[in-house]
Amino acid sequence: MTTAGGVKDAQPMILADRVCKNFGALQVLKGVSLEIGRGEVLCVIGPSGSGKSTFLRCINHLEEVNAGRLYVDGELVGYQEKNGKLYELHPREAARQRREIGMVFQHFNLFPHRTVLENVIEAPTQVKKVPKATAVAKAQELLDRVGLAEKANAYPAQLSGGQQQRVAIARALAMDPKLMLFDEPTSALDPELVGEVLEVMRELAQSGMTMVVVTHEMGFAREVADKLVFMDGGVIIEAGAPRELLANPKHERTQAFLSRLL
């Protein structure tokens, strides 16, 4: 997928080709295909159970796909292909791929017994073997970036939900990911704390980070996303430019969903 000169940036950052995922007899993803270019922000909306979070988890191989192909930066995710057959990667190799993809969850998943700074330096020092002094300097920069420089020595229980989620974003960025995934990052927050997290995500998008965001924040999707996808029943029902799709949804299922939100 590289060009003749070896340049990668002509290819999409994410290429999903007819991705299917089953949990037992339940088909959760039924052939999802889409492309996300470098530096683009994709927002995914849809009702609960539509497959949004499962698709996100397939991108970094937290869930195995049952059929189809998923590529990140031109590399097949979770598998290698030989003679048209897929073979699952060794867990160590899958982990190597995963560490290049940052993920922020609905619940913050911070280590409660570690300070904010210790949470942020944990993965770089343990997984990437970054020297501690280097990791600390980077962590301090990131905490400043998310507006929490003064909370470096606090523990998660001493922070608001919005502050904890901003620490989770800093922690993901500490691994220098080429792609960031957000799984409903504001849905567990009190309404007055949502804005501070969205502001950090907005700044991240402006810096050129490729992002996939599962969200119910339609204002954020309208302002920040380059593409908007509506999923329901494990398929993409409608996709397009956010302002156009939100103002003039074509499919009746999209119309019904948005009518309850907007």
Residues 162-184 pLDDT 10s: 999 999 999 999 999 999 999 99
Q: What is the pLDDT of residues 207-236, one digit of tens each?
A: 999 999 999 999 999 999 999 999 999 999
What's the mean pLDDT in 17-27?
A: 95
The answer to whether position 2 is within a domain reads no
What's the mean pLDDT in 55-59?
A: 95
Structural domain total, the chain: 1
The answer to whether position 116 is within a domain reads yes
CA dist 185 → 104, 189, 195, 213 (Å): 7, 8, 11, 8
Paired residues of 82 in beta bridges? 85
CATH number of the CATH domain containing 87: 3.40.50.300
Q: Model pTM? A: 0.92
The answer to whether position 4 is within a domain reads no
The answer to whether position 7 is within a domain reads no
The answer to whether position 3 is within a domain reads no
Q: Which domain holds residue 111?
A: 14-259
Q: In the block, which residue shows the tokens 């530096």? A: 39
Least confident of 2-16, 47-61, 245-259: 2-16
The answer to whether position 8 is within a domain reads no
Work out the number of other CB atoms within 10 angstroms of the CB of residue 184: 20
The answer to whether position 185 is within a domain reads yes
- pLDDT at res. 21: 96
The answer to whether position 109 is within a domain reads yes
CB 216 within 8 A of CB 182: no
